Amino acid sequence: MKIVKYTILGMLFVLMGIGIVSACSTGTSFKVLNVAWGNSTGFVSAGPGSMDVPLTVSLESYGTTSGNTACTINNLEGQLQVYGDLSNFNGSQYATQYVQQVSPSSIFNMVFYLNIAQNASAGAQTSENYYLYMYYNSSNSTVRESQTLNIEIPMHGSPNITYTPSSYGLFPGLNNVTLKLSNNGTGQASDIYNYVVSSSGVSVIGQPKTIDSLSPGQSKNVSVLLYVQQSSNGEPVVLSVDSHYIDSYGHNTTNNRELGMYIVPASQNVYAYPSNVTLVSGEIQNKSIVIQNNGIYPIYNVSVLLTPQSPLDVLGKNNYIVIPEINAGSSLSFPVTLYSQASSSSTVDTMDASVTYVMNQESQSISRTITFLTPGAINLTQVSSTVLPSAPVQGSIFTITSTLDNLGSESADAASVTAYPPQGISIVGQNTSFIGSIPIDTPTAYTLSFIASPSAKAGTYIIPVSVSYLNNLNQKLNASFEFHVRIGTRNISLASSGAGANAYQGSGELTVRKKSSGHPVIDILVIVLIVGASYYVYRRVKGKQKVRK
C-alpha cells in the first residue's frame, strides 16, 4: 500500500511540474514590424488626395517572461486613432480592425482603410506618428487587456506621369516626335523607362531614352522616331506609351497612357499664298508669293509654277521659280509682276500654284489656288479750281470751287470732302461736305465756303482737303489736295464826295485790288485846329468889349 501511495504522489508531482512548465505567460505584447500602404493584393503608392486607401500594419505577438510561452490571443481589436491629414474612410475618429485569434509568437496583419487630405504634406522623408490601441483576451484569462503602440505612417506622395506630344499630327515619312513627360503628382518617380507601341500604318523606329527621375512638378522631354506610310494619309493613329518606374515608396510601377494622333496628308505641309491679297485692276502690280513649310522637316528642290486665270496675267518670266531649300517651320518668298485687265467687272482674280518638293527623301507635289481681291482703279485728279472773290481780305467770306475728274476704271462712290483750314481761316458750315458718286471721265464739282479772320495776317494760306470714297469692294479710300489762297489787308477810311465808306487795298493774283482814300487824316485834324483857334480868338475879343463898356 505504501508503495502504491508513494507512486501516486510521485505521479501527481510530475503532473504538477508539467503543468507549471506548460503554463503560458499573461504578459503577451505586440511589436510593430512594418507599416505600408496597400494590402495582400499589392502595394499602393498613396499620396495627398488618395481616398479609401488601405494601410497595412504588420505585427508580431510575443511573451515578456523568458522561458514562458506566449498565450494565444482571442478577440483582438485594433483601433487606429487618426487626425490631421488622415481620416477614417467612414468619417469616424478611429479606424478599427478585428482579428478573432492570434497564435503565440506569430506574425499577422491589420488593414485600415483611410482617406488622405488633398493638402497633406508629402515628401521622400515625410511621415506622421499615430497611436494604435490593441484590446484582447489571453487564453488563460478572462480579463481584457490592452496595449498602446506608436506607428509611423509614411507620406511620400504618389507620382502621376502624363505625356504630351510636340504635335498631334504625323506626316508621311519619318517623324521625330518629342514627348513631354510631366510628373503632376506628389511623389517622385525614378528610373523611368518608356516603351511606345503604335497602331497600324505607323512603325516605331527608335524608342525613347530612360529618364533618371521626375520630381513632383518637373517635366522632361524624350524623343521617339516614327515612320508613317504614304498610304496612311488622313487616318487616326493611337500611340500606346508604357512607363515602368520606381515610385516614391520604392515599388516597381507600370503606367500606361494612350495618345490619340492623326496623320496629316502630305499636301497640307506646304502652303502658297500672296503677301498682299489686294490687286488693283488696270495697274501693273509688284507682289510676292510666299511658300510656307508647316512641316517638321525641311523641304528641298522646291519648284513653283504659276498659272493665272483670265483676266489676270503674270508679266515677265517669273511665273516659274526654283527654291533650293525651305527649313521646317519657315517660309521664303519671291517677286511676281501681275496685271489684271481693267475691263473685267470681277472683283476676284485667281491663279494656280503647282509646288513640287522633296521631304524625307520622298518627292511630293501640291496644287494651291491663290486668290486676289481686285478692286477697280480709281484715280481722282483736280482739273480746275476758282476762288470768289478772287482777292479775299481779312474778315471777308470767300468760296473755293474745285472740279475733279476720275481717270480710273471704276466710279468712286459715296464721295465726301473734308477741309482742314489753317489758323486764321474758318470754314462756313460743316467741315465735311457730301459729293456723291464720281463716275469715270465725268468732271464733278464741289464748293466750300470759308471766312478769313479779321486778325489773320496777310499772306498765302494753304488749305488741305481730303476726298474720301468707296471702291467696288466697299473699301474706304482717300485722295488729298491743296488750295493756295492769298489773303489781303483790309483798310477803313472816312469817305468824301461820293467815295465808298469801305474800300480795300491789296495786291496779288488771288486778292482784290483795293481803292485809294478821299482825304488824308492830317487834313481833317488841321481843319479842327483852325476852327478851335478861331472860336478861342472870338471869345477873347467879345470879353474885352464887355469890360470897356
User: DSSP string of 114-143?
Assistant: EEE-TT----TT-EEEEEEEEEEEETT--S
CA distances from 291 to 29, 249, 332, 483 (A): 83, 54, 5, 47
Confidence category of residue 63, pLDDT binned at 50, 70, 90? low
Confidence grade of residue 91 (pLDDT, cut at 50, 70, 90): confident
Distance CA 296, CA 108 (A): 60
pLDDT exceeds cutoff 70 at 387: yes
Closest residue by Cα to residue 358 from 109, 173, 196, 228: 173
In tens, the pLDDT along 271-303 reads 888 877 778 888 888 998 989 888 778 999 999
DSSP per-residue letters across 430-445 = -SEEEEEEE-BT--EE
CA distance 118 to 125: 18
Strand 169-170 to 252-263 pairing: parallel
Question: What are phi and psi for residue 10, nearest 5 degrees?
Answer: -65, -40
- The Cα–Cα gap between 46 and 186 comes to 9
pLDDT of residue 513: 33
Give the lowest-confidence range in 97-101, 116-120, 424-428, 515-519. 515-519
Helix and strand numbers (H, E) in the chain are 2, 38
Can you give the residue ranges of every domain in the chain?
Answer: 23-154, 161-264, 289-294+301-373, 380-490, 520-549
Interatomic CA distance for residues 442 and 471, integer angstroms: 16
Q: What is the pLDDT of residue 270?
A: 84
Per-residue HEC secondary structure of 261-287 comes to EEECCHHHCEEEEECCCECCCCCEEEE
pLDDT at 496: 35
Per-residue pLDDT reduced to its tens digit, 342-352: 765 667 788 89
Instruction: Examine the pLDDT at 198 and tell me if it is beyond 90.
Output: no
The CATH superfamily assigned to 23-154 is Immunoglobulins (2.60.40.10)
The pLDDT score that the predictor gives to residue 306 is 93
C-alpha cell of 20?
A: 507549471
Which pLDDT value is given to residue 522?
43
**Integer Cα distance of 442 and 439 in angstroms:** 6
How far, in Å, CA of 488 to CA of 187, rounded?
Answer: 91
By the 10 Å C-beta count (0-12 exposed, 13-18 middle, 19+ buried), 197 is classed as middle
Mean pLDDT of 73-98: 88
Query: What is the CATH number assigned to the segment(s) 161-264?
Result: 2.60.40.10
Give the sign of the dihedral formed by CA 434, CA 438, CA 442, CA 443. Answer: positive
Higher confidence at residue 447 or residue 538? 447
Mean pLDDT of 121-146: 84
Edge-to-edge strand ranges of the sheet holding 397-406: 380-388, 397-406, 444-452, 425-427
Residue 527 pLDDT > 80: no
Which pLDDT value is given to residue 493?
45
Q: Which of 278, 185, 174, 187 is nearest to 229 (CA)?
A: 174
pLDDT band at 89 (very low <50, low <70, confident <90, very high): confident
d(CA 322, CA 304): 6
The terminus-to-terminus CA distance of the chain in angstroms comes to 212
Whether the per-residue pLDDT at 143 is higher than 50: the answer is yes
DSSP 184-206: -SSS-EEEEEEEEEE-TTEEEEE
| pLDDT at residue 22 tops 70 | no
- pLDDT bin (cut points 50, 70, 90) of residue 492 is low
Q: What is the pLDDT of residues 501-522, one digit of tens each?
A: 333 333 333 333 333 333 444 4
Would you say residue 133 has pLDDT above 70? Answer: yes
Determine the Cα–Cα distance for residues 519 and 522; give it in Å rounded to an integer.
8
Give the pLDDT score at 498: 34
Tell whether the model's pLDDT for residue 232 goes beyond 70. Answer: no
Find the mean pLDDT for residues 30-54.
Answer: 88
> Which residues are paired to 217 by β-bridges?
none
Place of cell 464721295: 415
Q: Give the highest mean pLDDT range of 229-233, 437-441, 535-539.
A: 437-441
Q: How far apart are CA 275 and CA 291, in angstroms?
A: 10
Fold identical between 23-154 and 380-490?
A: yes
Task: Give the CATH number of domain 380-490.
Answer: 2.60.40.10
